[in-house]
């Protein structure tokens, strides 16, 4: 059974690996990928960003159905990798603090998933 709404069928292949819940985990995921993998994801998701936003915007943040949360996570991953793809042309930020020493500080995720992601 597809995890995403039918109109996003071409993004379904990314759900198992690219849906990452926290900002820190998205950062770790990004630096563990090749630029070719990031390019492939970017090329598939970026053209659909407005469609993702319009779909997600139908729901309040505290009552999003599972498929909307999955799309939100794909959009968040797109935002995470965009500088790597569009500016740095490598997964990590050049001439910066090594990834291993970097600590992501972010607020608790404000999204309560209506029917959970445990079965993604």
Q: Name the band, by pLDDT with cuts 50, 70 and 90, for residue 26.
A: very high
61-91: pLDDT as tens digits:
889 999 999 999 999 999 999 999 999 999 9
Q: What's the whole-model pTM score?
A: 0.84
Helices (H), the chain: 15-18, 23-31, 35-45, 49-56, 66-83
Question: Is 25 among the domain residues?
Answer: yes
- What's the confidence (pLDDT) of residue 114? 47
> Averaged over 49-62, what is the pLDDT?
95
Total count of domains within the chain: 1
Mean pLDDT of all residues belonging to the chain: 89
Q: How far apart are CA 15 and CA 3, in angstroms?
A: 8
Question: Is 5 among the domain residues?
Answer: no
Question: Is 113 among the domain residues?
Answer: no
- What's the confidence (pLDDT) of residue 83? 96
Torsion of CA 18, 19, 24, 25, to 10 degrees: -60
**Three-state DSSP class for 105?**
coil
End-to-end CA distance of the chain: give it in Å, rounded: 10
Question: Is 23 among the domain residues?
Answer: yes
């Amino acid at each position: 059974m597809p995890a995403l709404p039918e109109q996003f069928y071409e993004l379904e292949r990314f759900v198992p690996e690219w849906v990452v819940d926290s900002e820190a985990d998205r950062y770790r995921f990004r630096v563990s990928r090749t630029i070719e993998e990031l390019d492939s994801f970017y090329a598939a998701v970026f053209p659909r960003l407005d469609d993702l936003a319009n779909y997600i915007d139908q729901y309040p943040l505290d009552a999003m159905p599972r498929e909307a949360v999955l799309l939100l996570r794909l959009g968040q991953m797109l935002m995470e990798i965009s500088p790597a793809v569009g500016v740095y042309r490598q997964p990590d930020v050049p001439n910066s603090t090594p990834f291993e020493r970097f600590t992501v500080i972010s607020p608790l995720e404000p999204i309560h998933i209506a029917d959970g992601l445990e079965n993604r």
